[in-house]
Each structure stands twice: as C-alpha cells, then as structure tokens.
Amino acid sequence: MTDKILSPSEKILASRRKFLAAGIAAPAALAAPSIVKAQAPIRWRLQTYSGAPLGAHVIKPQVDAFNAAANGEMEIELYYADQLVPTGELFRAMQNGTIDAVQSDDATMASPVDISVFGGYFPFATRYSLDVPALFSYYGLNEIWAEAYGEVENVTWLSSGAWDPLHIFSKDSIRSLADMRGKRVFGVPTAGRFLSQYGLIPVTVPWDDVEVALQTGELDGVAWCGFTEAYEVGWADLCNYALTNSMTGAWFGSYFANTESWNAVPPHLQQLYRSTIDQSHYYRAQWYWGGEAKLRVEGEKMELTSLPADEWAQVNADAQVFWDEIAASSPRAGKVVDAFKAYAATMEAAGYPYR
C-alpha cells in the first residue's frame, strides 16, 4: 500500500501532533503510587473558549496532566466551546457554580471588570508571546488582575499566559485598508472594536459554526487567531488569503475558578493545578512560536498579503489613540495602559533581540 503524499502544511501539522504526544507523556510520570482512597474524589467541570481541535493543544494536555498527577483525589471533566454554556455566558456560569473553572480571555467571556477589554487581542500591546508573561511578572499586571477579580463575587483569577498572534484570514484579498470595508469576520471583541473603524464588520457565531458560516458566505473571513489555529482547525481550507500584518503579537488568555470550588480544593492540589497551568503556558509558547513561522513560510493554502507601509503606520498611530481612549475609561485601565507604554519603551530602548 502506497503511503499518502502529504502537503507541506500536512507535514507540519503531523510533526506538531507528535510534539503534542510527547508533551502529554511527560506529565504522567508525576503520578504518585496508587493509594486507595475512602473519600470520593473532587470533581470539577471546566469549559474552555476553544473548540476540540485547538483544545487538544491549548487545554487538554494540562487537564490530562492534572488528572494523572492528582492520583484519584480530584478529576476535571473538560468541555470545549459552547458545550455546556455559550462562550459569552462562561463568566456567569462559573460565578453561579454551573461550571467550576474556565479557560478564556476576559473579553470573550464578558467578564464584568474594568480591565476585560485587555483580555484577548488588545491592539499592539504585544509583539511576541514572551511579552505577555513579562508584562504580568515585571510590569504589574499580575497585581492588577488579582485586584480586579478580587472585587468580583465568587470568581478567582488564577493565571494568564500567551497564545497566538492576530492575523486576518479572508476569502477575498486584503491589500489595503479599503479592502477591509464591508468584510464580515468572526473575531474577538476588542480586536473587532478596533478594526471596525476600517469598515470590518465583527460577527459573532458559535466557534463550531465558523466553518459552515465561511462556506455559506455568512462570514468573509476570521480575525480570531494566527496561522496555527487557521490551519489546525480547517479555516485555512476556506480562506484564500492571509494578511501578514499582525494587529497583536499574542493573545492574553487566563484560567479562572469558581471561588467556592477553588477553596474546597486542598492546598497540595491547588499547587498541582497551578503547576500544570504553568506547564500549559510553557507548552503553548513553543507550539505557537514554532508553528506560526513554519506555517507562514511553508504552508501552501493561503496567499500572503500585506498592507502598504503608510497605511500600516496609520494603523499603529490609530492604536495609540485607542490606547488613550481605553486608559481614560477607569483608573485601573489607565494603569494597564501605562504598563504597556512603559514596557514598549523599555523594549525599544533595549533593541535587538527585544525589538
């Protein structure tokens, strides 16, 4: 029997799935020797923002690692986008205990905090994935997020990490800002709000319906992800063009828990959960960083386009206006924007390899 000849993108995706298998195998070694427990295990229901194909990388390895290492004391049931509740209702469902934990950005799950606009893709806040943990660890975002969610009843913010950059993938080419006008795209709230000034029309549909919406013409493209997700979930099969200009270098995603559920977990399992979250952040940093470049260069499914330099400079200038508008919305939002500005100035002054 002749082996199937793989296309360049299929070879890349196949090699990255082997990487996933290796990433899952290691955590299993953390499991302690089997001990009979008289007490019933703690059970959580966790829902992610992502559909199953992407969830296999961004959340399942973490849940599998935790379940293996928890040694029967606790088990997390994983649900993908919209399986238990619509993504836009994730926050309320977690707050009232319908689900115990969530992986999402703040904006997509409609967090009622004054910093929710920064979750997901805030235009030009980052250039690289490492910018996200640096901002949280060294520029005060950890303390700001903890403060904001500390004011919300029965929800605990646990950690934030980096995902992929934001590109626009479309059925018709985008080679100028004028080409964006009238295009209906599936996108995250903050990026959609910013890009709408160029005539792009953000459309909300369930994640699993995006493929059909692209096929039927309800959507003209997506402004939701980077090359990795577009190829992994099949959207690259329906979009003909990829805009290389990245509105943001990395998505801000977070882990949250219902506070009552979190407090019912013993300290050693809380630490295990935090450790597997950190492991997930580390895994994604490699998976996205390597995959984005490789698929952009070797992926054959979409033609690359770019905006003219003067128009891209205008988008950058417009982003600074957007930053100032958001900064004026609340004192805490102002602190986040100040952190972005201080970080950007430091990176520019540091030069290569930072900028």
pLDDT, tens digit, for every residue of 223-278?
A: 999 999 999 999 999 999 999 999 999 999 999 999 999 999 999 999 999 999 99
Distance CA 307, CA 170 (A): 14
Which domains, and CATH codes, for the chain?
25-163+251-295 (3.40.190.170), 166-249+299-350 (3.40.190.170)
Task: Write down the pTM of the prediction.
Answer: 0.89
- Cα end-to-end span (Å), the chain: 50
Q: What is the DSSP letter of 128?
A: S
List of the chain residues with pLDDT < 70: 1-3, 12-13, 15-38
pLDDT at position 20:
57
pLDDT at position 10:
74
Distance CA 138, CA 159 (A): 14
Peptide bond preceding 353 in cis form (omega within 30 of 0): yes
pLDDT at position 39:
76
| Sign for the pseudo-dihedral over CA of 52, 58, 59, 61 | positive
Q: Which long-range contacts link 259-268 to residues 24+ away (Cβ below 8 Å)? A: 259/153, 259/154, 259/155, 259/156, 260/97, 260/154, 261/44, 261/97, 261/100, 261/101, 262/156, 262/158, 264/42, 265/42, 265/74, 266/73
Of residues 296, 314, 315, the one with CA closest to residue 244: 296
How do beta strands 42-48 and 74-79 pair? parallel
**Token pair for residue 55?**
């969830």
Of residues 53, 279, 16, 15, the one with CA closest to residue 159: 279
| Sign for the pseudo-dihedral over CA of 35, 41, 47, 53 | positive
In this structure, the number of other CB atoms found within 10 A of the CB of residue 333 comes to 22
pLDDT at position 19:
55
pLDDT at position 64:
98
In this structure, the number of other CB atoms found within 10 A of the CB of residue 355 comes to 12
Strand order in the sheet with 303-305: 201-203, 184-187, 221-225, 166-170, 241-248, 303-305
Angle at CA 156, nearest 5°, toward 204 and 166?
35
Distance of CA 77 to the CA centre of its chain: 20
